[in-house]
Amino acid sequence: MPGKKWILLVASSKDWEDYQHQANVCCFYQIIKKHGIPDEQIVVMMYDDLAHNHQNPEDGAIISVVDKTNVYLGVPKDYTGKDVTPENFLAALQGNDHTEKKVIKSEENDNIYVYMTGVGNEGTFEFPEKSLYPADIVGAIKDMSEKKKFAKMVIFMTSSYSARMFEGLPNNVNAYALTACDKNIQCCPSDYDKLRNVYLSDKFSSTWLKFLSTADFNTETFHKLIELKQAKHIRENPGPCPCQFGDTSIIECTLSEFLQN
C-alpha cells in the first residue's frame, strides 16, 4: 500500500551574496505545493535573512529563477536562523522529536525526497556555524533503512564538491543520491539578476526547477535531469556534471512517486 510523501528542503547558507540557495528552496516549495504535498509533510530549513534584508529592493520578496515571481509567500519557517544546523537537519530527517519542531515522521511505506542547496567544501556541506560530514548523512540514511523508516529515498544536493558527500552510500538501502558536482568541481551559479546584484540559482538547480515547473509528474522520471544536464548547451559550459550514488534504479521512478499527492 502506498504511503505518504515527505519533503525536506534545506538551504544551508546565510547572507545576501548566497541568495541563490534560499531562492532555490522557496521556488521548490511553491512547485510541490501546486502538486498537492501538504505542509505537514514538508520540512523547510533556511536562514530567512533575505526577504526583509536591507539590500533587498523589493521588501518581502524572494525571486523565482523560473519566472521572476515572488516565491517567499507562504513558505513554512520550520528551522530558521540559529536553528539551521547539521544537528537539526539530521534530527528532522530521522524524525527525532528533540528539536521540538517539525520533523519527518516517515514509516515503512513512505517515500522521502531531500533537496539540499548550499556551500560545499572538499568533504563537507556547510551550515552557517558547523559542517555536515559524509559519515553523518550516510550514517543517518543507513540507520533509517535498518529501522524501516522509508520505502525509497531520493537526495539531490547542489554544492561544490558535493560528490564527496555520498561516496559511501551503499546500493542496497533503497536510497539514491544525485549531486550537482563531482568531488573536484565547484558549483556554477546561474541566472544573474542585475537589480539585486545576485545569482538567482545555480546550473543544476535552475535546470531542475525550470523542468519541474512544466513537467507532467505522472509520466516524467528523475532520469530526465540526467538527460537535461547532458544536453549540448549545458555540456559546452563549465559547471556541474551530476554524479549518482546508491540505488540508481530509483532514477526511473516517476516524479509523482515522491513529489505529488
- Enclosing H/E stretch for 111: strand 111-117
Give yes or no for residue 209 having a pLDDT over 50: yes
Domains and CATH numbers, the chain: 5-259 (3.40.50.1460)
Beta bridge partner(s), residue 156: 115, 178
What is residue 37's predicted lDDT score, i.e. its pLDDT?
97
Q: Could you give the C-alpha distances from 38 to 32, 69, 125, 211, in angstroms and in order?
A: 9, 21, 28, 21
**Lookup: cell for 59:** 521588501
> What are 215-248's pLDDT values in tens digits?
999 999 998 888 776 654 444 345 446 889 999 9
Quote the Cα angle for 224-226-231, to 5°.
95
> What are 100-126's pLDDT values in tens digits?
999 999 999 999 999 999 999 989 999
Beta bridge partner(s), residue 258: none
Are the beta carbons of 9 and 29 closer than 8 angstroms? yes
> What are 155-165's pLDDT values in tens digits?
999 999 899 99
Distance CA 44, CA 181 (A): 23
What is residue 92's predicted lDDT score, i.e. its pLDDT?
98
What is residue 230's predicted lDDT score, i.e. its pLDDT?
60
Give yes or no for residue 260 having a pLDDT over 50: yes
Binning pLDDT at 50, 70 and 90, where does residue 51 land? Answer: very high
What is residue 231's predicted lDDT score, i.e. its pLDDT?
55
Nearest to residue 126, comparing CAs of 8, 44, 15, 11? 11
Distance CA 205, CA 219 (A): 21
What is residue 232's predicted lDDT score, i.e. its pLDDT?
43
The burial class, CB within 10 Å (0-12 / 13-18 / 19+), for 70 is middle
Place of cell 509520466: 219
How much is the pTM?
A: 0.95
What is residue 237's predicted lDDT score, i.e. its pLDDT?
45
Share of the chain above pLDDT 90, in %: 85
37 vs 188, higher pLDDT = 37
Distance CA 17, CA 197 (A): 8
> What are 132-149's pLDDT values in tens digits?
999 999 999 999 999 999
Beta bridge partner(s), residue 93: none
What is residue 8's predicted lDDT score, i.e. its pLDDT?
98
Distance CA 227, CA 222 (A): 9
